[in-house]
């Protein structure tokens, strides 16, 4: 059922609300076509499996549902522009208490929103980030996209209080993990560095595409643990996500990164990422 947001309701006994007992995905369209939809649906299935949640739709039906909802919203909207689809699946309603056995029917909500491009200034000047120390030693469901983002929310709140766009989460040993809703990359000499997925990070779909594009930009990709110093001493830094694609970080912890402006390697990677994905140049 497609309803206006103000008419959509979820139970107060829903475990997504009570415990963050949920998995989700965010997908965007480019000129009407959802980008890497099948990969997002695969990751959703994988996330659900990691937390022992049984989905009621097959992957094929889930793909079809997203496509048909996007089409309907596009037709009703009557204005051009890309859309964002967010699929939220909670374990559903259950009695109080952590034991998930009482929740038998997952609750699925599909949001369709207009895509809001980043401010031009963020693209041309890059943005600032802070590093944020946490005790994230591992996840309950490593690599799954689960509903509880409290650590990231607190980190982002700190970043915004310090006038920064993004917080880069550091793990329990001080190692670099990822942004609050992004993966992080450093360029040093001819190398493209990013933390490996053996650490508790989300294996971002954009991240994978950027690693694939490294050689096109004349870089050698290296997935290895990074220390904050690797970020501070980088020639170029950027974050990746479905929504932001590649976005230059030009200041970190109140210091400029490299020349303090978006770098040529990040630009080359961004162009290669778009080209490989069959998208027009940025
Ligand atoms: N989140 N790491 C985290 C913790 C994220 O939440 C996200 C994206 C990423 C990047 O993944 P991808 O390239 O597949 O989008 C990494 C989505 C966009 C969100 O905020 O809803």
Taking every pair of C-alpha atoms in the chain, what is the biggest distance, in angstroms?
56
Distance CA 243, CA 154 (A): 20
The pair of structure tokens assigned to 223 is 């997935």
- Residue 194 Cβ inside 6 Å of ligand 1? The answer reads no
Helices then strands (H, E): number in the chain?
Answer: 8, 13
Candidates 140, 136, 141, 142; CA nearest to 172 is 136
Reported residue count of the chain is 282
Catalytic-residue membership of 145: yes
- The answer to whether 182 and 240 are in contact (CB under 8 A) is yes
Per-residue 3-state assignment (H helix, E strand, C coil) for 247-275: EEEEEECCEECCCCCCCHHHHHHHHHHHH
Distance CA 131, CA 17 (A): 29
Q: Which atom of ligand 1 is nearest to the CA of 178?
A: 2
Q: pLDDT tens for residues 16-59?
A: 999 999 999 999 999 999 999 999 999 999 999 999 999 999 99
Average pLDDT score over the chain: 95
Q: pLDDT tens for residues 196-243?
A: 999 999 999 999 999 999 999 999 999 999 999 999 999 999 999 999
Q: pLDDT tens for residues 62-88?
A: 999 999 999 999 999 888 899 999 999
CA 182 to centroid of ligand 1, rounded, Å: 5
- Residue 245 Cβ inside 6 Å of ligand 1? The answer reads no
Q: Which of 71, 72, 121, 145 is catalytic?
A: 145
The pair of structure tokens assigned to 173 is 């040993």
Q: Which atom of ligand 1 is nearest to the CA of 180?
A: 4
* pTM: predicted TM-score of the whole model, two decimal places: 0.95
- The answer to whether 217 and 236 are in contact (CB under 8 A) is no
- Residue 197 Cβ inside 6 Å of ligand 1? The answer reads no
SS3 100: helix
Alpha carbon dihedral 25, 47, 183, 268, in 10-degree steps, equals -70
Alpha carbon dihedral 118, 120, 126, 127, in 10-degree steps, equals -50
């Amino acid at each position: 059922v497609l309803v206006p947001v103000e008419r959509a309701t979820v139970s107060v006994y829903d475990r997504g609300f009570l415990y963050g007992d949920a998995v989700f995905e965010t997908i965007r369209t480019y000129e009407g076509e959802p980008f890497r939809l099948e990969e997002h649906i695969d990751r959703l299935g994988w996330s659900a499996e990691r937390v022992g949640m049984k989905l009621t739709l097959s992957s094929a039906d889930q793909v079809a549902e997203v496509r048909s909802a996007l089409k309907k919203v596009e037709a009703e909207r009557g204005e051009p522009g890309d859309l964002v689809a967010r699929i939220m699946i909670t374990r559903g309603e259950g009695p109080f208490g952590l034991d998930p056995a009482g929740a038998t029917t997952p609750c699925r909500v599909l949001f369709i929103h207009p895509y809001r491009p980043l401010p031009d200034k963020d693209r041309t000047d890059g943005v600032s980030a802070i590093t944020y120390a946490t005790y994230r030693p591992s996840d309950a469901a490593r690599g799954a996209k689960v509903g509880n983002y409290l650590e990231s929310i607190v980190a982002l709140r700190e970043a915004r209080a310090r006038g920064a766009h993004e917080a880069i989460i550091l793990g329990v040993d001080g190692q670099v993990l990822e942004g609050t809703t992004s993966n992080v990359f450093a360029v040093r000499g001819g190398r493209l560095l990013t933390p490996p997925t053996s650490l508790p990070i989300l294996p971002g779909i954009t991240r994978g595409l950027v690693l694939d594009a490294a050689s096109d930009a004349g870089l050698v990709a290296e997935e290895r643990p990074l220390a904050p110093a690797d970020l501070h001493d980088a020639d170029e830094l950027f974050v990746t996500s479905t929504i932001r694609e590649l976005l230059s970080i030009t200041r970190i912890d109140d210091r400029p990164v490299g020349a303090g402006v978006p770098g040529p390697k990040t630009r080359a990677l961004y162009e290669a990422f778009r080209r490989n994905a069959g998208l027009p140049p940025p």
